[in-house]
Amino acid sequence: MVSKLQASEPWQDPEAQPFVRIEGVTKTFGSVYAVDAVTLHIYQGELFSLLGSSGCGKTTLLRMLAGFEKPTSGRIYIDGLDVTDMPPYERPVNMMFQSYALFPHLSVASNIAFGLRQQRMPKGEINDRVQELLELVRLGNYGKRKPDQLSGGQRQRVALARALAKKPKLLLLDEPLGALDKKLREHTQFELVGIQERLGTTFVMVTHDQEEALTMSTRLAVMHEGRVSQIGTPQHVYEQPNCRFVADFLGAANLLPGRVVGARDEGIEVAIEGLDEPLIAGDGTAGVEPGMEVTVAIRPEKMLLGDKGENKLRGVVQDIAYLGDISIYHLRLPSGRVIQAQVTNRVRGGGAHPVWDDEVTVSWNVDSATVLSS
C-alpha cells in the first residue's frame, strides 16, 4: 500500500518509476558546454521547474526534451520510451512558447483546433475537444474572438489550451508567464497550477523567475553553467541550500565566510572575520570538521531586530527599503560588511522601527543558519 506521502511525493518512494528520465545528457556547441552531464528524474503529474539565469542551459535542456536539439551524449526517456533520436513530431510532447505564437488571422477556437485538424480528427470530436478546453481555461464564450481582441492573460490561456489539445503526455513551458505584467503574472501562476492539477499532465517549465518557480513547482532544479546545482521541493531548496550559489541565487541571503572552530550539541561554531564571538549554525553541519573554511548563510527574514536569538550582531542602519508589507534594513557591521534584515510592517504607519544611522542589534536562532562548505 502506497503511503499518502509517497502518493503526493513519488520521488520519496524508492520503488516509484520516473516518468521522464534524463540520463547523463550533455550538449556542446563547438567547445562550449551548454548542458554538462545532467541527470534528472521527473515523475508523473509533477510541475517541475528548471530555474536559472540566462545561459545556464535550462532552455537547451528543454529543447532536447522537445526534440529540437539532439544531445551530444546521454539518453532521454519519456514514459519508458527512449526518445533521444526521435523527431519532435513523433514524441508524446507538446511545447508552449513564451511568445504564445498564436495565428492572428484565426479565431480562438481555430487556434486551439489547429493541431487536431492536422491530425484529421473528425469535425464533431474537434468541436467537443475545443469547447472542453475553452471551459477548462475559463474562456467558454471567447471562441469566435481573434487574438488581438484578448488581454495578455487570455492569450496565454489560449496558447495553453492549444498546447493541451492533442493530450500530450508531457507539456513543456518556456517562460510561459514572461510576457505578463507582475500582478497578472501572480494571478496566472495559480490558474496554471490549478489547471495542471486538474489534468494531471506532467509539466516541465523553464523560468528565470525565482518567485514563479517557488510558487508553482512541485520540485525544481537550480541550474548553473550547464549543470544542476540542487534539486528539491521549493521549501527544501530555499531553506536548505547546498552551496553558496543556490543560497545567493534563490532569494536573498547573508553569506558570512568563516572557519569552523568547534562544535556544540546545538550546532557548529564558526569564527567570522571582524566578529568577537563565533556564530553557531545548526543546519548543514554533516561532515563539517574543525578547521574547515565554510560560509554561514542566513536569510534576511530569519533575522530579528533585538537580541532574542542565540546569535547576535550589532550594526548601524545604512539603508532602508520600504516595500509596503515589509521593510529591508541594510546594516553596516564594525568590519565594514553589510548585511540585510527584513521586518514585517504589522503596524500601520511603521511603528517604532529603526531609522537611518541608528545602532541596532539583530539576532537569529541557531537553526536559522546554514553551514555551506562549497
Q: What's the rounded mean pLDDT across residues 172-186?
A: 82
Answer whether residue 25 shows pLDDT above 60. Answer: yes
Name the pTM for this structure. 0.90
**pLDDT value at position 226?**
97
Beta strands in 265-344 (DSSP E): 267-272, 279-281, 293-298, 304-305, 311-322, 326-332, 338-344
Identify the residue whose cell numbers are 513543456: 172
Q: Pick from 291, 267, 262, 296: which is nearest to 280 by CA?
A: 267
Task: For the chain, give the percent of residues with pLDDT over 90.
Answer: 69
**pLDDT value at position 349?**
65
pLDDT band of 350, cuts 50, 70, 90: low
**pLDDT value at position 5?**
39
Q: How far apart are CA 75 and CA 72, in angstroms?
A: 10
**pLDDT value at position 186?**
83
Q: What's the rounded mean pLDDT across residues 295-307?
A: 92
pLDDT band of 284, cuts 50, 70, 90: confident
Q: What's the rounded mean pLDDT across residues 340-347?
A: 88
**pLDDT value at position 351?**
61
**pLDDT value at position 178?**
77
Answer whether residue 120 shows pLDDT above 90. Answer: no
Q: How far apart are CA 53 and CA 213, in angstroms?
A: 13
Give strand pairing partners of 221: 50, 231
Length of the chain: 374
**pLDDT value at position 238?**
96
Composition of the chain by helix, strand, coil, percent to 5: 30, 35, 40
pLDDT tens, position by position, 30-78: 999 999 999 999 999 999 999 999 999 999 999 999 999 999 999 999 9
DSSP state string for 350-374: -TT---TT-EEEEEE-GGGEEEE--
**Cell numbers for 374:** 562549497
**pLDDT value at position 204?**
97
